[in-house]
Structure 1
Amino acid sequence: MSLLHRGKNMHDSQDHDQDEDLVSKSQLKRDAEAQQELGRQLVDLSVGKLDKMPLDEELLEAILLAQRIRNKREGFRRQLQHIGKMMRHRDTAPIEQALHELEHAHHEQNALFHQLEKYRDAILADGDSAIQDFLADYPLADRQKLRQLYRQAQKQQQQGKPPAAARELFKYLREVATV
């Protein structure tokens, strides 16, 4: 291998190392869009959920402003861009973690809600055996109250009345399960 060729290879490897250190414009744009999307997720949260987020005062104010001007299309778009720019200068890992935990809690709550609906439907269909199944999972529940609500629901269904007792049964199941 000639000296010239060897020198060119060394130079190429140095360029390659520098290229690895540099981030492409496309990657920078993707990162900026990701930060803006994170900002949009924060703007979509309620004030109560925002209070639980690890946000500094400046970022919180920008998010609240975006929520207030949501119906002003161009202003809202610019505010989202501003929030995205603010996010690039912050450590977003704690914010992303808090959003993930919030979403996880929401999924758990939905799963519990669907499970309680199944219990309610089973109690309304099967009566005492389904009540026994619920009591096996939630021993602090009041068997007498469950049976009373079941009988009221059956009576209302036979009379063609609205299912007020069935709704009350679900409310009681939720109360017991979330204690």
Structure 2
Amino acid sequence: MSPDQTDDEFDGPSRSQLRRDASAIFKLAESLAKLTEAQLSRIPLEPDLLVEIRRTRGIHQPIARKRETQYVAKLLRRLEVEEIDAVRRVLDSDRQQFHRENAALHQLEDLRDRLIAEGDSALDDVIAEYPNADRSHLRDLIRQANTEAKKQKPPKASRELFRRLRELHAETPGSG
């Protein structure tokens, strides 16, 4: 074949694609190293790989941690595509659960602020949403929170009100 002719035969992924794939696996290794022990126990991985991930979490020097993360990425590249996809699905599921929980906490914070600002009218809405709520206790916490705000004291009652709303939210079936 002369140098002018091209061979249309596929030689495999480009060097750029290989780099992108390696970078994605490295980011996956970094994500795994950031997980808590409870989260890590849900990931379907081989025991020796889990040991290396735990070892990575224990390293605090940036260069050494990067080197260990690269080693974990090397071990991950040896896995089958289906195994890596299973790991990513569990991570995505955890991420989505975190965002749902975070959104629920923000809604409860907004509800607390509304209770403190509006008082009894907002309290009626809370009682309708959480029928097992103690109206008098919530009303006392709202009054205390308003008093603390006026006197510029630490928001102890406001925090307690938020805790109580979070408990009510957790007790209510279907709320998460």
TM-score bucket of the superposed structures, by smaller chain: 0.7 to 0.9
Kept in 2, the 8 Å contact 1:33–1:84? The answer is no
Q: Report the counterpart of residue 84 of structure 1 in structure 2.
A: 73
What is the one-letter code of the residue matched to 1:25? R
Kept in 2, the 8 Å contact 1:150–1:169? The answer is yes
- Number of matched pairs: 164
Q: For 1:59-138, what aligned pairs fall within 5 Å after superposition?
A: 59-71=49-61, 73-90=62-79, 91-138=83-130
How far has the Cα of 1:120 moved from its partner?
0.5
Kept in 2, the 8 Å contact 1:135–1:141? The answer is yes
Q: Is the alpha carbon distance of 1:54 and 1:140 closer, same or farther for their aligned partners in structure 2, counting shifts above 3 Å? A: farther
- TM-score (normalizing by structure 2): 0.84
Q: CA RMSD in A?
A: 1.9
Structure 1: how far apart are the matches of 2:141 and 2:64? 53
Q: Report the counterpart of residue 174 of structure 1 in structure 2.
A: 166
Q: Deviations over 1:24-62 (max 9, x none)?
A: 122112111111110001111122221222222111111
The runs of 5 or more residues in structure 1 that have no matched partner are 1-10
Larger Rg computed on CA atoms: 1
Question: Match for 2:131 among 124, 139, 143?
Answer: 139
Q: Which has the higher helix share?
A: 1
Structure 1: how far apart are the matches of 2:150 and 2:74? 62
Kept in 2, the 8 Å contact 1:36–1:81? The answer is yes
